[in-house]
Chains A and B, each alone.
Chain A
Amino acid sequence: MRVHAYAMSLSVVLFASGAASAATYDAYPGDDLKTAIESLFFGDTLIVHSVGGDGTGQYDRFKVYNLRGDNPRTPEKEWITVQAAEGEPRPVIYDSSYSSYNLVEFLDYIQYAKIIGLEFWRGSDSIKLPGTSGDHVIFEDLYMHEIGNTGINLSSCGNVSFMEIRGCEIADTGYAGHGEGMYLGTHGTQGSGSGILRDSIIEFNYVHHCYGSQGDGIELKYECYRNVVRDNVIHDTQYPGILSHGTALPTAADNNILTRNVIWNSGDNGIQTHQTTTITNNVVFSSSRCINVGENTSNSGILHDVYIYNNTFYDSGDEEGDRVAGFYVSGKTNIEICNNLFYQPNIGQPNIEDLAVTFDGSVGIVTSGTMARHRICPVDSRPGPRRRTRSSILPSRRA
């Protein structure tokens, strides 16, 4: 902490004088990042180096309390930025255990904070917000790999809004836990008004090889709303590539939006939702079921307001009798499934309508190897969606 000891004392002076000028500080391998980050004030930047210091390129796990970049005395919002040094290998946050400790925890509150360019290796969760609320948080260009549990874990968060998770790679999860790439929002607090992620953007991330006891790519928990999940590449997941449980809100205006994502090799459903989700322009292929929509009242309330437009679903990659898509939506309101392509290459043309897609009722599927465009709302007696794993399409785990 050579450099940051100076930083801390300087910051105190700036605050005491009421000056609004931002400062840039440096941290080097072996420094205590907790102390360095907690001493930042609004507008400050901490450059995290991998070269120099103790020569390891690494930093120990840490917990940061109450990281707030907003300057309450000015109309401008002044962010705190923690970012990797340009032109150096990524600085690595490391813990040898897969289960004992999370690598980084943000506690109490996090606000107007950007974390950019860091690498997270092993540990339980790479980043966790345990019981933490926040707003205006950006996680960008982070690389998380060989993860005990989850990459970005909001599984017991408070309320978080205006978060952006962009350009992050999350790989090889679940060595000792659930194994989601991103676990966003909280089950178990339903109706309490907490544990909700809203108005956030998850975009241009690369999430792959998510296993463990579950292993979703991106799981957006019940009651999270008005989030946009777009342009992500997700493959080789044990549970759904993207699972949106639904908003618990009455109208589509607050729907979560899943758009322009690519998903393949999901051992479960490529995309799965239980309600209030708008799904457009996604490409999903070679998954046990490319998309599955059905009610799950134990976790997600009544199914309604699901809009599925212009997606391409190709090849369940599964045994005979399995389907590219399953829609268990009969009797539900505001369900529209239009302009999608469903294609199951190993099924003979005469049977495509019967075998490529499962609808729980009679719907007019227009097929030409295969296309469906229609609105549906028919009868149902089929069971709800299933979650399962199928190891035959999963590659062997890490060399």
Chain B
Amino acid sequence: MTDLYLQGGTALENAGDNTYAPADDFNETARPQDGTAEPGAYEIVGASNPGWQIDEEFKTPPVLPALVSSEPPADGTLPKTQNNVILLTFDAPVTLPGGDALVIVEMGGGPDVSSAFVYQLDPNDPNGLTLKATENGAQLTDLTWYQVSPAADLAVAPFTLDVCVLFGDANNSARVTAADYSEVKARMGEYTDARYDLNGSGRITTADYSTVKAHLSDRAPTKP
């Protein structure tokens, strides 16, 4: 059947006017990609049409990327006193929307802290499957549950992920114990933003021991 998806290298790429471009395209792909919209019904997102192919049949809705894993996992903890990281891995590449990619709200009627995070595609994932949300400094409250869900403009299948902030819980046990010292010790000296960097400094040092010590015996509260 006829395929009117724009071919690669076309002079029409980025030749539209964002002022008038709808927020998504024929395939419900967010528009614009790469800064400026294409004219026509299709926004270019690859060499060939990623959506429904025109044929003598019903049009099928796009299959949205589904969440397959996360760090922390569901009901897990965010252990850092600042710069906490949430990694969400999907079964297909995701595209960052213009605004906040996630809605992150304190459970039990607390504030929306979505804008307290910086969103990017994880540079360590060459396949573009992983969305990385990094807390911008110290924005989250210790011993508090948050619910994470996709923002309206993030084209993924709906999900919710509940996580609890528990400073010092390096091993994601929902409790701060001596075992968390061991997790830190095992990675001493590494440059990383992983959960073992409990003070969010970007490097695992003896200072991270202090976070464990300060919160020793804390437990994740009951989820609201």
Contacts and interface: CB of A to CB of B under 8 A. Distances in A.
A171 B37 CA distance: 36
Contacts of B24: 281
A340 interface: yes
Contacts of B31: 310
A169 interface: yes
A255 interface: no
B39 interface: yes
Contacts of B40: 310-312, 339-341, 371
A283 B12 contact: no
Contacts of A233: 54, 56-59
A332 B63 CA distance: 41
A309 B59 contact: no
Given A339-B39, A339-B40, A167 B58 contact: yes
Counting chain A CB atoms within 10 Å of each CB, which of B31, B41, B54, B59 scores highest? B41
A336 interface: yes
A208 B59 CA distance: 13
A142 to B, nearest CB: 12
A336 B21 CA distance: 12
Nearest to A235: B56
A164 interface: no
Contact of A309 (B12, B20, B28): B20
Contact of A283 (B19, B21, B22, B54): B54
Interface in A270-284: 280-283
A286 to B, nearest CB: 7
Contacts of B22: 259, 280-281, 309-310
Nearest to B20: A338
A77 B2 CA distance: 44
Contacts of A372: 39
Interface in A254-310: 259-260, 262, 264, 280-283, 285-286, 309-310
Contact of B26 (A206, A281, A371): A281
Interface residues of A, number: 35
A251 interface: no
B61 A204 contact: yes
Contact of A312 (B41, B56, B60): B41
B58 A204 contact: yes
A271 to B, nearest CB: 12
Question: Looking at B16, B25, B28, B40, which has the most chain A CB atoms within 10 Å of its CB?
Answer: B40
Interface string A104-148: 000000000000000000000000000000000000000000000
Contacts of B17: 338-339, 373
A232 interface: yes
B2 A314 contact: yes
Interface in A331-361: 336, 338-341
11 contacts: A204-B61, A259-B22, A260-B26, A260-B59, A264-B2, A282-B26, A311-B40, A312-B40, A339-B20, A341-B41, A373-B15
Given A310-B25, A341-B39, A373-B20, 19 more contacts: A204-B59, A205-B58, A206-B58, A233-B59, A260-B41, A260-B59, A262-B54, A281-B24, A282-B26, A311-B40, A312-B4, A314-B4, A339-B17, A339-B37, A340-B40, A368-B15, A371-B15, A371-B40, A373-B39
Interface of B: 2, 4, 11-12, 15-17, 19-22, 24-26, 28, 31, 37, 39-42, 54, 56-61
